Amino acid sequence: NFKNLIQRTAMDVLNKKFDKLYPDKEEGSIYAVTTHSPALRCLEKLKEYNVYCFPVMNPEHEQRLVGLLDLVDVASFVIQLWDRNSGSDKEFDDIFERSLKGKTADEIMNYSKMNNCHFLPESATFKDVLTTLTLPGVHRVPIMSRGGLLNQKSKRHLARFITQTDVVRFVACNLDDFGPALDSMLCSIGTYPATCVHESSKTIDAFREMISKKVSGLGVVDDKGLLVGCLSMRDMARLVTNRPGVGLSSTVKEFLDTKLATGVGPKTVVTCGNADTIRSIITRLNSNGLHRIYVLNSSQKPCGVVTLSDICQFLLNIPADQYPKKQAPAKVSPPKKVDTSHLEELVTKALLSEDIVVTDSQKEG
């Protein structure tokens, strides 16, 4: 039940992510970069592996983990570079490439303050993971091996990453163990307002809005206020590895149309309503591999958003009285003794006389 799950170790519960993400690598391996890795190569790898971040290791200190290179760092770098340089799209492409040529991973990883790095040991419980993943700006937790301590002067041996996606995947596979709390309707717990941009906005302004609002995704609306698409930090990896000047100066609609034409991303936007249950939303997030799902009102306009952070917070706040309780076996009462003497008399008469007619109800008796 939920009490048992919440106390299991993180490694016991969420142990299979990297086998699926990196099938071309040794089973269970983690792709990492060093502090001296070329920044441009790091961006190419982010796109190739379709991930939000890489751990950055210091090769001069026995591969100690020093932080994370996140797509939010990349976006912050790109926006600052864009604002410092005016000119044509082609000129920005050249400036961007020249600016990255001499930079390394450790220079890019500090451009953002949103990807806080909090470490947990292998012995950490699932509840410890949930608690950490609900901290501001934390979307993934490095799990350190038992051989490493957790202070700046010690060796840090990275064993695994646990992300909010891992948590939702685990919950989706164990829905019945999380009790009736998951049957709560979304309207009963509330949601945060959806952060959206108009489809005519410049793509660079949309990413600037993400940085300003400290979110990793935006809804895209048309003139009627209807949700027509989504833009996320993952799109930044595609932009910076393929003529970023053109993509950033285009409108969000043009960018999404190009993305759809190349077969990247879903053709439809997955949404939910206030009457949907947390259980159904978790299932939808997991089956579609989403980081957020937008809530539509009766006019089919976005009125809220449910993120993976919200799901982690909800799980952490499940009250004890809503844990699924183990049901006691049902008590079976002994059968009541039935008086059958009248039936015996009826059968005797039937055997002696053919005039006795036995009704269907009597036969059943």
Q: What is the pTM of this model?
A: 0.77
Looking at residue 124, what is its pLDDT?
Answer: 87
Sheet holding 292-296, edge to edge: 271-273, 292-296, 302-307
Task: Please give the C-alpha separations between residue 344 and each of 90, 156, 341, 354, in angstroms, as whole numbers.
Answer: 104, 86, 5, 16
Query: Does 363 score more than 60 pLDDT?
Result: no
Look at 74-78, 82-86, 200-204, 359-363 and tell me which has the smallest mean pLDDT: 359-363
Helix intervals (H) in 148-271: 164-173, 186-189, 203-213, 234-240, 244-249, 252-261
Report how far apart, in Å, the C-alpha atoms of 16 and of each of 1, 5, 23, 30, 165 are.
21, 17, 12, 12, 12
**Strand partners for 219:** 196, 230
Confidence of residue 364 (pLDDT cuts 50, 70, 90): very low
**Which pLDDT does position 340 carry in this prediction?**
45
Average pLDDT over residues 99-121: 79
Tell me how far apart the alpha carbons of residues 243 and 237 are, in angstroms, rounded to a whole number: 11
pLDDT at residue 208, rounded to an integer: 93
pLDDT reading at 285 higher than 80: yes
% of the chain surpassing 90 pLDDT: 24
> Dihedral, CA atoms, 256, 257, 263, 266, nearest 10 degrees?
50
CA dihedral (208, 211, 215, 218) in degrees, to 10, reads 10
Binning pLDDT at 50, 70 and 90, where does residue 351 land?
A: very low
DSSP of 247-291, one letter per residue?
HHHSBHHHHHHHHHHTT-S-SS--EEETTSBHHHHHHHHHHHT-S
Average pLDDT over residues 90-106: 85
Predicted pLDDT of residue 267: 66
Angle (CA) 281-282-286 rounded to 5° is 115
In Å, the largest CA–CA distance within the chain is 115
CB 141 within 8 A of CB 162: yes
Q: Check residue 152 and give its pLDDT.
A: 44
**Pick from 93-97, 127-131, 154-158, 336-340: least confident:** 336-340
Q: How does pLDDT run across 38-57, given as a tens digit for each residue? A: 998 888 888 888 788 888 88
Q: What is the pLDDT of residues 226-265, one digit of tens each?
A: 999 999 998 888 888 777 877 888 999 999 998 887 766 6
Helix (H) or strand (E) holding 58: strand 53-58
pLDDT in tens, 18-38: 333 333 444 455 678 888 999
Dihedral sign from CA coordinates of 26, 52, 249, 261: positive
- For residue 218, pLDDT beyond 80: yes
> Cβ distance 350 to 356 under 8 Å?
yes
Specify burial of residue 258 (Cβ count, 10 A radius: 0-12, 13-18, 19+): middle
Helix (H) or strand (E) holding 5: helix 2-7
pLDDT tier at 349, thresholds 50, 70, 90: very low
In this predicted structure, the answer to whether residue 60 has a pLDDT above a threshold of 70 is yes
Q: State mean pLDDT over 316-340.
A: 49
Burial of 176 (0-12, 13-18, 19+ CB in 10 A): exposed
Q: Is 43 helix (H, G, I), strand (E, B) or coil?
A: helix
Min mean pLDDT across 101-105, 298-302, 355-359 is at 355-359
Antiparallel, parallel or unpaired: β 196-198 and 271-273: unpaired
Instruction: Report the chain's C-alpha Rg in angstroms.
Output: 29
